[in-house]
Structure 1
Amino acid sequence: MTPDRAQLVEHARQSIAHGSKSFAMASKLFDPATRDRAWLLYAWCRGCDDLADGQEMGHGMQIVADPAARLATIRARTALALAGQPSGDPAFDGFGLVARECGIPAAVAEDLIEGFALDAAGWRPQTEQDLYQYCYHVAGTVGVMMAIVMGVSPDDEATLDRACDLGLAFQLANIARDVREDHDAGRRYLPLDWLKELKIPESELFAPPYRKRLASLGARLAERSAAYEASARVGAAALPFRSAWAVLAAAGIYGDIAREVSRRGTTAWDTRVATSKTAKLGWVVKSWWQARRPKKGLPRPPGLWTRPRR
């Protein structure tokens, strides 16, 4: 039997509280109905991620022995949830609920799952465009779905492009922060072209002779993240005030991760980069003012990667 809505929301609240303090704080800025739906969407994304990577609440990523079976479980539970059938997992049941309430297209959910399929297949980006394609699957899709949760029409391509940009900004920041963690888990999200350009052997990313070159790639990821963050900030003008406030706060909080990686240079991966509670609260205040004075009318930069159209 599927839990009732209140139980699903409570499970989702606990998921975000344990899985991401940054998103948990930003989500409190939403109006209550949007907040609950954002939690339900987050819990599904977290549930998929934990299944795929053998994690618990986003922590302890490891090399799993059965990636194909885990992917099949994600697909099966998602299909049941979208069909309105009990999946046996409250994270997936909650996603089915929010998808029906908000009209989230199944195709976008399928695009997210394709990101897990890439990881399950041992995929590695060869080019910068490959990197953006991957970021779309695992995070840009989340931005699109979150915008729909906030009331954006699934047909409003321009606003959804900006929402996708925020997902790309977040994922690029994640990749910059987690280069060592990914390397230790047998993954590599730095484009092979970039490594060849700087003559960094893939198997020796953290060898002392290449540390300065690797730091320059951390700064490059931060620069790319900032470009997508700037685009997303313009898109926030299309949202209701409280949703814009939450989005801008999240953009600042997560943007600080990429900026800190760049600032640390060669020491960026000695300890995990995190945003302090004080800094998070600072962004809550700053983003309130930013949401009251939205950036409007600025065209989306033509050089940015654009999500595929369905």
Structure 2
Amino acid sequence: MDTDEHVIEVTGLHRVYEGGFEAVRGISFHVDRGEIFALLGTNGAGKTSTVELLEGLASPASGRVRVLGHDPYAERALVRPRTGVMLQEGGFPSELTVAETARMWAGCVSGARPPHEALEQVGLGRRTDVRVKQLSGGERRRLDLALALLGEPEVLFLDEPTTGLDAEGRRDTWELVRALRDRGTTVLLTTHYLEEAEGLADRIAILHEGRIATAGTPAEVTAAQPSRISFDLPAGYFLGDLPPLAGLGVCEHEMDGRAVRLRTHELQRTATELLLWAHRAGIELAGLDVRPASLEEAFLDIARDAAAPRTKEYAA
């Protein structure tokens, strides 16, 4: 795709805090126009530090950031009117009503649309007279989102957008974000919900210790992980009684008592050969559990890898 379509470009980005702590260690990625891009990461991985640089809240120690073709920190006046930001915590005056808060915020936004439209869009149309302090946690997140949408932004930054929402509210927010994407809005979000990233994002990047450990579409990231098969061998059978594991496509295995756990990148072949062997032997594999690779497995694999020997930079 033409680089003009790279609405967000990050190259060799570093962020260093006072005292020398390097929170972001040379990451590179891009986000295309009309794309939903999710940043995931273990605690302290550098997600918030990265997003703050993209929002223009701080200047990087080194590296390059461009949002809509501009430096979001040095050229903030050119970038800010075209972006919307939903922080983890809005921090709005608790005594104001929802409508008063939206009107106040609209006065700070260039070209803001009528506040009631944004409130209706996020499902707060009937809560306009309620004070902010009386809103539930999920309703406050809806208010945060409404205010981020007041300026009808070209680029939308969402930091943990569905925290505190119930299942219905989370699904409604996903549908809204997809609709924004379909209208051409570029969305960068952080989330702790792997289901959210897997179902919502066009591409993801998983950060670990300030670097991008892996990146790609959810399917690409998932495909790098082996699937799992587990079962209990019947009495009198041992691991050596199975067909050669390498021939089954097994890449890792372990045994705990009678329980056998296999990992494979060829799930269909491995499962088929295993079941054919059991059928020919006339035995039942009790507790048989077959699980395809998942984004959760990819994330946990990175989280467990404290030394991060696989970590490398990706030009996502």
In the superposition, the TM-score normalised over structure 1's length comes to 0.29
Higher relative CO (Cα under 8 Å, sequence separation at least 6) belongs to 2
Larger Rg: 2
Higher helix proportion (structure 1 or 2) = 1
Structure with more strand by fraction: 2
